[in-house]
Structure 1
Amino acid sequence: MRIGIAALVLAYVLSQFYRAFLAVMTPVLTKELGVSAADLASASGWWFLAFAAMQVPIGAWLDRVGPRLTTGLLLALGAGGAVLFSQATGALQIKLAMALIGAGCAPVLMAGYFIFARSFSPTVFGTLAALMLGVGTLGNVASALPLSWTVAAFGWRETMLGLAVITGAVALAILALVRDPERLEAGRRGSLIELLRMPALWPILAMMVVCYAPIAGLRGLWIGPYFADVHGADQLEIGRISLWVGLAMVAGNFAYGPLDRIFSRRKWLVIAGNAAAVACLFALWWFAAAPPAVTTAILVAAGFLGASFPIVLAHGRSFVPPHLTGRGVTLLNLFGIAPIGIAQIITGRIHAATPAAPAAAPYAAVFLFFAVSTAIGLAVYLLSQDRAD
């Protein structure tokens, strides 16, 4: 069981890498392929939308087939997407490759959560969920400065081919090492409709929509063009800044997990953390033209505070009946991931439509969008029913 979970965690490191690496790739892709920031925002959106679209069938497959085949086979598809990316000559191929990679990464985290929910005590679900997310976020770190070094040393096409090989090897490891939890006795099968009829879930789903989208969007893409256009940063400098934000996200995940066990008021832990994150997003909007040290510090704080995703998911999972575990966690993940793809496409259009005078103006508009949308979701979440396992 443990070695299989380790393989899933390694796969999740790759998943986190793939959702964030475009921020560092921006300068070289723009230079060599002529793609714009809006093109890359759209490509990032395709990753998240493909990831989200797979959540509904994955939920059923986890309940009926199990995490081993579901994750291993789809991750192999993601390896194929990385190969396509390495051969890209324009924006369309990058978008298609990102969609394939997103679909391949889609089951990884939920497969781990499915095993935690079915094989471990409910009292440790939030901690294990945060631990897996925290370790996996090291992939976010790897997509920062280490990726900049690798691209500079070997080239971006060769780097992507190497990643395709690694992804394929991890897919094989999952097929060989993951052990499915014991099947539940035959009985109720249930459906997503049963979950959607639960009023207690809806305010939590609203929070899922906004709890991860801002920091995923900023770290996954907008850090790169923002520091390049506003502060003249090169690829290595963007990699260093991305590294700091990625490390803050790792630290945030590790902090939220123990706090979930210490405090019995899960709802208010989420509210406090995300209220502070909203303040950071408004600060980014207000200080968009400030020196890079200021905006970097704000982004680092936002990365730490915006890491409540596993705790919000644990809050929702606590209302899900056992026979719907797979569909429950993937429904929550759908609401957490799909909005990121939509937000990337929206912010790409906001950026393109905002006059670049001064240079920080289009990015200030992006920051304001994230701040306002997160505040709205947090207001709805105030109506949720608190529950701790």
Structure 2
Amino acid sequence: MRIDLFLLVIAYVLSQFFRSFLPVLTNVLETDIGADAADLSLASGMWFLVFAAMQIPVGWALDQLGPRRTSGWLLLIGGGGGAALFALAQAPWQIVVAMGLIGVGCSPVLMASYYILARVYPAAMFATFAALIIAFGQAGNLAGSLPLALAVELLGWRLSLGVLALASVLVALLLLRLVIDPPPVQDAPRGSLLDVLKIRGLWLILPLTMVNYAPAAGMRGMWAGPFFAETYGADARLIGYATLIMATAMILGTFVYGPLDRIFGTRKWINVTGATISVGLVCWLAVAPPSGLWYAAALFAVIGMVLSNYPMLMAHGRAFLPPHLVGRGVTLMNLFSIGGAGLAQVITGPIYAGGGFVPVFLFYAGAQSIGLLIYLMSRDRMD
């Protein structure tokens, strides 16, 4: 692996951490600054929504400026600045603003690595390499569980976030120094987002892309903390253990999905299988939640594992993109994926306030079912 791709993976570790660390801070943030579950749901949703909105300018910047400047400057200003603001926050609204800034900083790192993959490596290997990047990046998901809980016990949450702000600045500076931009595509037409939207092969893939990640992102990144605390009386350390189990399962799932398209000769039906299992398990969690914490943690883990097919969805869409539209194309798909997760976070906050966890889980299952029904009409494609 090239050193610049390795650094982008490290940046993606930070991105995975920031999208998933709030459950561990559920109790301390409510005690210290009065941030309740609804506030944290909004803050988590803000990260996803800002991240998604940034995919449009990020796609343009990758094609026009290259991954070095795009990833380095945004992570430096957004990631470092947002984490610093979080560490200094005195009120819930400051947490919301900080998470939005962090979303800006994290928005280019995965797409920058995918851009390099798509331009430098063989197309047939895209799904496998993309899955490996996701899997290694999930170390941030792990760090945002039990290790963060232990760090908060030892250092406090403010100092822990201060350390993360410094780490974001350091990684950003290394990206600006070491990332190598791929050469421009020769004699290619100048494309636009409108050109990507004209590709009919994507039309039936994007709806599932929009809803497929939302259950795993919401349950791991937000609702695991309140659910385990309110349902089973879990403290920060127990929540850390439960989310660690789910994070580990998501890493395992990513490794499992990586080579499946080359083994079975299909991408569509692999994605259909994962989404179908997820719908069933989320409905089970809503209708008959397990009586014990560890049984519930295992169910969360299996849901996270079967929804680790993001690289397979990206590979399915990537197969329809011409080289000069790769940057805009993959960022458009990421916009749908992250934007859908962000909208779900914002929507599920009021749903939870009005009815608790059951309607939240039913909302996830219903939205994913609609996306799956549309996706069933899509055209399978391999490279």
Instruction: Give the shorter-chain TM-score range.
Output: over 0.9
- What is the TM-score normalised by the length of structure 2? 0.98
Q: CA deviation at 1:289?
A: 6.0
Following superposition of structure 1 onto structure 2, how do residues 181-330 of structure 1 map, counting pairs within 5 Å? 181-288=182-289, 290-330=291-331
- Tell whether 2:379 aligns with 1:385: yes
Q: CA deviation at 1:198?
A: 1.8
Following superposition of structure 1 onto structure 2, how do residues 365-376 of structure 1 map, counting pairs within 5 Å? 365-376=359-370
- What is the TM-score normalised by the length of structure 1? 0.97
Corresponding residue SS for 1:336 = helix
Partner Cα distance (1:118, 1:189) in 2: 16
Question: Could you tell me which amino acid in structure 2 is paired with residue 290 of structure 1?
Answer: S
Q: CA deviation at 1:187?
A: 3.7
Report if aligned partners of 1:55, 1:106 keep a CA contact under 8 Å in 2: yes
Corresponding residue SS for 2:277 = helix
- Residue equivalent to 1:73: 73
**Residues paired across the two proteins, number:** 382
Question: Could you tell me which amino acid in structure 1 is paired with residue 193 of structure 2?
Answer: L
Corresponding residue SS for 1:89 = coil
Q: CA deviation at 1:260?
A: 2.1
Question: Could you tell me which amino acid in structure 2 is paired with residue 374 of structure 1?
Answer: Q
Q: CA deviation at 1:177?
A: 1.2
Partner Cα distance (1:304, 1:69) in 2: 34
Q: CA deviation at 1:327?
A: 0.2
- Tell whether 2:129 aligns with 1:132: no
Report if aligned partners of 1:215, 1:302 keep a CA contact under 8 Å in 2: yes
- Residue equivalent to 1:104: 105
Partner Cα distance (1:318, 1:54) in 2: 23
- Residue equivalent to 1:28: 28
Corresponding residue SS for 1:200 = helix
Corresponding residue SS for 2:259 = helix
- Residue equivalent to 1:4: 4
* Structure 1, gaps ≥5 residues long: 355-361
- Residue equivalent to 2:121: 120
Report if aligned partners of 1:56, 1:330 keep a CA contact under 8 Å in 2: yes
Partner Cα distance (1:312, 1:325) in 2: 15
Structure 2 CA distance for partners of 1:264 and 1:289, relative to 1, 3 Å: closer
Corresponding residue SS for 1:184 = coil
Q: CA deviation at 1:290?
A: 2.6
Cα deviation per residue 1:223-258 (whole Å; 9 max; x = unaligned)?
A: 000111111000000000000000000001111001
- Tell whether 2:35 aligns with 1:41: no
Corresponding residue SS for 2:152 = helix
* Structure 2, gaps ≥5 residues long: none
Report if aligned partners of 1:230, 1:289 keep a CA contact under 8 Å in 2: no
Report if aligned partners of 2:282, 2:303 keep a CA contact under 8 Å in 1: yes
- Tell whether 2:147 aligns with 1:146: yes
Question: Could you tell me which amino acid in structure 2 is paired with residue 63 of structure 1?
Answer: D
Report if aligned partners of 1:4, 1:179 keep a CA contact under 8 Å in 2: yes
Q: CA deviation at 1:194?
A: 1.1
Cα deviation per residue 1:62-118 (whole Å; 9 max; x = unaligned)?
A: 001100000000000211100000000111100000000001000000000000000
Q: Structure 1 residues 80-89 or 184-193, which shifts more?
A: 184-193
Report if aligned partners of 1:61, 1:70 keep a CA contact under 8 Å in 2: yes
Question: Could you tell me which amino acid in structure 2 is paired with residue 373 of structure 1?
Answer: A
Cα deviation per residue 1:282-333 (whole Å; 9 max; x = unaligned)?
A: 1111123632222111111101101011110110011011111100000010
- Residue equivalent to 1:162: 163
Report if aligned partners of 2:242, 2:294 keep a CA contact under 8 Å in 1: no
Partner Cα distance (1:348, 1:66) in 2: 37
- Residue equivalent to 2:13: 13
Q: CA deviation at 1:186?
A: 4.3
Partner Cα distance (1:282, 1:295) in 2: 13
Cα RMSD, aligned residues only: 0.9
- List 4+ stretches of structure 1 deviating above 3 A: none
Question: Could you tell me which amino acid in structure 2 is paired with residue 331 of structure 1?
Answer: L
Partner Cα distance (2:286, 2:139) in 1: 27
Corresponding residue SS for 1:181 = coil
